[in-house]
Amino acid sequence: MAASPSQKNQLFLGLFIHSIRLGELQYLHDAAVCVDKGGKIVAVELPCDQEKAEDKLYPSLGWTPGDVLVTAAKDGQFFFPGFVDTHLHAPQYPNVGIFGKSTLLDWLNTYTFPMEASMAELPRARRVYARCVRRTLAHGTTTAAYFATIDVAATNLLADLCLAAGQRAFVGRVCMDRLGPEYYLDASPAAAAAAARASIDHIRTIDPGFALVSPVLTPRFAPACSAAALAELGALRRETGLPVQTHVSENADEVALVARLFPGHASYAEVYDAHGLLEGGRTILAHAVHLTDAEADLVARRRAGVAHCPCSNTALTSGEAPVRWLLDKGIAVGLGTDMSGGYSPSVLEAARQTVLVSNHLAMPAAAAGVERAPDSHRQPPDDNERARAKLSVEEVLHLATRGGAEVVGLSDRVGGFEAGKEWDAQLIGLAAVPDGGGEEDGGRAGAGAADEGNVDVFGWETWEDRVAKWVFGGDDRNVRKVWVRGRLVHSRSPS
């Protein structure tokens, strides 16, 4: 079951929009992107139409027209890099939206551990995971960093399903040998390490080079892991060089619990560092809401990345992660849906909430409540810092694509439309309101009233404004097609 790129070379034509640096989107109008049979971008040319591509690009690539599949964005549509969801829990998918008034630690016990444990029943896991993968693809998520469960067979099934559906994925068997209910715990640190190995071995058999699906070492979070279990995983990290994902400093009670459980350590992040889980430049830390100054410096020095999960942080009342501050520290930041702490499978929703949470940080009321965690040594922000907290549409789209790619260690392969990168992309369509149209079509805007969502474009908006309208009003109805490594993995009909 190999990852199967497209069988043909491909030519994509039209408008391409991608982030070239934090805060700057590039608009490539009337452009052509050539993608080879392996799913790699081999040429980017503009201006360029099909005729010019056939005359100029094909000969230089050794292509003949019969060998090329052509996809042209229609007027008003654009190609955008696929989203990277740097943090989500596939087994929690059925719980999306269900969190009541809980906060992290009671949410885990009430909703999360029982649901995760139930995935040991494989037909149930198949149903949930298949749906989760399809749904996230439909929202334009081409790369996902998944937490699975402690169950090896169900974790392996998730990896199989990602590979079959063509989603680029990191799949982690969750290690936890304490804090959870008795029925949902690793038997010992050694058993946790053995189970992690078993899942790594499985993924190596289905995708030997980890071209599409990779294992990721996944200690749930420090409170759920004994020091011995963390040490086992740290040793496994050194041995394999695999990436690591975990949670850090999400909630004030959790931070206090870590201080109680690991009294000899300087901080939460330092617990991971002391067990060899922060080094190597391949660690994804989810949340990082309440990091101290010294912790953020440590994370930056170790080149670990942060998965910012605003939907979850707000839903579980965890706090407002200071994203600008993290970026200023030189830490790579991507976006995570954190389903089902987060209530949505959409990275676009996470991007939107990233803007809104950053606006909250810029409000004086947020400054008044700045004692984010009892142990925080951060200074309250001054007016200037507060104003800088605000993140723009362009900045959050960077985090959703290139920033995420950096966090998961794929910045040489995905996140933008340069030659040499792989074609992980989505075709976005917005509803064009017809000239003179409006009431007489019963509000069914757009040519043929194709289901293009609720972002109405009148035609006079700049492209910058259209992108902003997409970020704040868009959803999966705007995602017409999705490709990973050149393979079409989702299509919304009619196109």
Q: Which residue is nearest to ligand GUN (CB)?
A: 341
Site for Zn ion contains 177 (CB under 5 A): no
Q: Is 42 helix (H, G, I), strand (E, B) or coil?
A: strand
Site for ligand GUN contains 466 (CB under 6 A): no
Q: Which pairs with CB-CB distance under 8 Å and at least 24 residues apart come from 191-195?
A: 192/225, 192/229, 192/232, 192/233, 193/229, 193/232, 193/233, 193/235, 193/236, 195/150, 195/152
Site for Zn ion contains 85 (CB under 5 A): no
Looking at the Cβ atoms of 171 and 428, the one nearer to ligand GUN is 171
3-state secondary structure 429-471: ECEECCCCCCCCCCCCCCHHHCCCCCCEECCCCCHHHHHHHHH
Asked whether 359 and 390 are in contact (CB, 8 A), the reply is yes
For every residue of 164-230, DSSP letters joined together read HHT-EEEEEPEE--SSS-GGGS-SSHHHHHHHHHHHHHHHHHHSTT-SSEEE-BEE--GGGS-HHHH
Degrees to nearest 5, angle at CA 325 with 319 and 327: 115
Question: What's the closest the beta carbon of residue 176 comes to ligand GUN, in angstroms?
Answer: 8
Looking at the Cβ atoms of 289 and 430, the one nearer to ligand GUN is 289
Which residue from 338, 406, 456, 476 is in contact with ligand GUN, where contact means CB under 6 A? Answer: 338
Site for ligand GUN contains 312 (CB under 6 A): yes
Question: What's the closest the beta carbon of residue 27 comes to Zn ion, in angstroms?
Answer: 34
Helix H or strand E segment including 488: strand 487-491
Site for ligand GUN contains 220 (CB under 6 A): yes
Site for ligand GUN contains 112 (CB under 6 A): yes
Degrees to nearest 5, angle at CA 47 with 457 and 17: 45
Which residue from 93, 111, 146, 221 is in contact with ligand GUN, where contact means CB under 6 A? Answer: 221
Q: Which two tokens stand for residue 69?
A: 């599949």
Q: Which stretch binds Zn ion (CB under 5 A): 153-161, 192-200, 203-211, 333-341?
A: 333-341
Residue 455: name its binding partner from Zn ion, ligand GUN, none (Cβ under 5 to 8 Å by kind).
none
Question: What's the closest the beta carbon of residue 315 comes to Zn ion, in angstroms?
Answer: 12
**Alpha carbon distance 221, 451 (integer Å):** 41
Q: In a 10 Å sphere around its CB, with 0-12 CB exposed, 13-18 middle and 19+ buried, how is residue 479 labelled?
A: buried
Site for Zn ion contains 338 (CB under 5 A): yes
Which residues, 433 to 462, sit near ligand GUN by CB under 6 A?
A: none
**Alpha carbon distance 64, 62 (integer Å):** 7
Going by their DSSP bridges, the two strands 77-81 and 213-215 should be labelled as unpaired
Which residues, 229 to 248, sit near ligand GUN by CB under 6 A?
A: 247
Site for ligand GUN contains 142 (CB under 6 A): no
Task: Tell me the CA distances in angstroms from 119 to 50, 150, 226, one per residue in order.
Answer: 49, 9, 24
Which residues, 249 to 268, sit near ligand GUN by CB under 6 A?
A: 250
Looking at the Cβ atoms of 206 and 248, the one nearer to ligand GUN is 248
Which residue from 319, 341, 345, 486 is in contact with ligand GUN, where contact means CB under 6 A? Answer: 341
Looking at the Cβ atoms of 13 and 255, the one nearer to ligand GUN is 255
Going residue by residue from 54 to 93, which x/- string records binding to ligand GUN, judged by CB under 6 A? -----------------------------------x----
Looking at the Cβ atoms of 111 and 423, the one nearer to Zn ion is 111
**Strand spans (E) along 333-438:** 333-335, 425-429, 431-432
Residues 6 or more apart in contact with residue 194 via CB below 8 angstroms: none
Question: What's the closest the beta carbon of residue 316 comes to ligand GUN, in angstroms?
Answer: 7
Site for ligand GUN contains 151 (CB under 6 A): no
Q: Which stretch binds Zn ion (CB under 5 A): 194-202, 286-294, 325-333, 362-370?
A: 286-294
What φ, ψ does residue 302 adopt, rounded to 5°? -85, -5
Question: What's the closest the beta carbon of residue 140 comes to Zn ion, in angstroms?
Answer: 20
The label of the residue with tokens 């990082």 reads 288
Residues 6 or more apart in contact with residue 84 via CB below 8 angstroms: 141, 142, 143, 144, 334, 335, 347, 400, 401, 403, 404, 405, 407, 408, 410, 414, 415
Going residue by residue from 242 to 281, which x/- string records binding to Zn ion, judged by CB under 5 A? ----------------------------------------
Q: Which stretch binds ligand GUN (CB under 6 A): 104-112, 130-138, 263-271, 379-387?
A: 104-112
Q: Which stretch binds Zn ion (CB under 5 A): 127-135, 177-185, 198-206, 334-342?
A: 334-342
Residue 485: name its binding partner from ligand GUN, Zn ion, none (Cβ under 5 to 8 Å by kind).
none
Please give the residue ranges that form the binding site for Zn ion (CB under 5 A).
286, 338
Question: Site residues (CB under 6 A) for ligand GUN?
Answer: 89, 104, 108, 112, 220-221, 247, 250, 312, 338, 341
